[in-house]
Amino acid sequence: MENQIYQNNISVLKEVYGENVIDILSDESDEEIIIEEAKDGSYTLKIIIDGQSKYITSKYAPLREAKKFVDNIEKYDYETLFIVFGMGLGYHIFELSKLLGENNKILVIEPSVSVFKKSMEINDWTDLMKKKKIFFFIGEDIESIDQFYYRHINELNVSNIEFLVFSHYDKFFSQIYRKIAKKLKECIENIRVSICTLKYFSNQLNYNLFKNLKEVVKGENIRLLKDKFKDIPAIIVSAGPSLDKNIRELKKVQDRAVIIAGGRTLKPLLDNGIDPSLVVSLDPGRPVYELIKDNLDKEIPLVTTVISQSDIIREYRGKKYFSNVLESMELVNYLLSREIDRISQGGSVANMSLSLAHYMGCNPIILVGQDLAYTDGKIHAQNSTYELDGNNKKPDEGLIEIEDIYGNRVCTNTVWLSFLRWFEFYIRENPEKEYIDATEGGAKINGTKIMSLKETIEKYCTEEINIAERFKNIDSSDSDVIEKITYSLRKLKELKKNLIEVKKKSISGIKFSKKMLEYYRDNREYDINEILKALDDIDEDIKKYKLMTTGIYHFISPIILQIYHKEEFREKISETERERGIRLAKKSYVLYEGIKNSIERVIPLISECIEDFKQCERSNGI
Q: What's the one-letter identity of residue 316?
A: Y
C-beta of residue 370 within 8 angstroms of C-beta of residue 361: no
pLDDT in tens, 574-612: 889 999 999 999 999 999 999 999 899 999 999 999 999
Q: What is the mean pLDDT of residues 300-318?
A: 95
Q: pLDDT value at position 1? A: 41
The pLDDT assigned to 558 comes to 77
Report the pLDDT averaged over residues 48-69: 87
Question: What single letter denotes the amino acid at residue 386?
Answer: Y
Q: Over range 252-266, report the average pLDDT.
A: 94
Q: Which amino acid is at 233?
A: P
287-293: average pLDDT: 90
Alpha-helical runs (H) found in 123-241: 126-130, 145-152, 169-172, 174-218
Q: What percent of the chain has pLDDT over 70?
A: 93
Question: What's the pLDDT score for residue 396?
Answer: 61
386 pLDDT band, cuts 50/70/90, is low
User: Minimal CA–CA distance to 149: which of 612, 175, 158?
Assistant: 158
Query: What is the average pLDDT value for the chain, to the nearest integer?
Result: 89
Counting other chains too, the contacts that 529-534 makes at CB distance below 8 Å and 24 or more residues apart are: 534/508
Residue 246 pLDDT greater than 70, yes or no:
yes
The CATH code of domain 481-620 reads: 1.20.58
Residue type, 129: M
**What pLDDT is stored for residue 329 in this prediction?**
86
What is the mean predicted confidence (pLDDT) over 398-427? 91
Give the rounded percent of residues in the chain with a pLDDT score beyond 90.
59
Per-residue model confidence (pLDDT) at position 552: 57
pLDDT recorded at residue 554? 59
β-pairing, 278-281 with 365-368?
Answer: unpaired
Instruction: Output b/e per residue, 84-115; b: 16+ Cβ within 10 A.
Output: bbbbbbbbbbbbbbebbeeebbbbbbbbbbbb
Q: Is 8 helix (H, G, I), strand (E, B) or coil?
A: helix
Q: Which of 442, 441, 453 is nearest to 248 (CA)?
A: 453
> Quick one: which of 303, 606, 316, 612 has its CA closest to 485?
612
What b-and-e string marks burial along 531-548, b requiring 16 or more CB atoms within 10 Å of the CB?
A: beebbeebeeebeebebb
Segments making up each domain of the chain, as ranges: 4-167, 215-473, 481-620
End-to-end CA distance of the chain, in Å? 76
pLDDT at position 479 is 65
Give per-residue pLDDT as tens, 449-503: 999 999 999 999 999 999 988 998 887 765 688 889 999 999 999 999 988 998 9
Question: Taking the model in full, what pTM does it have?
Answer: 0.82
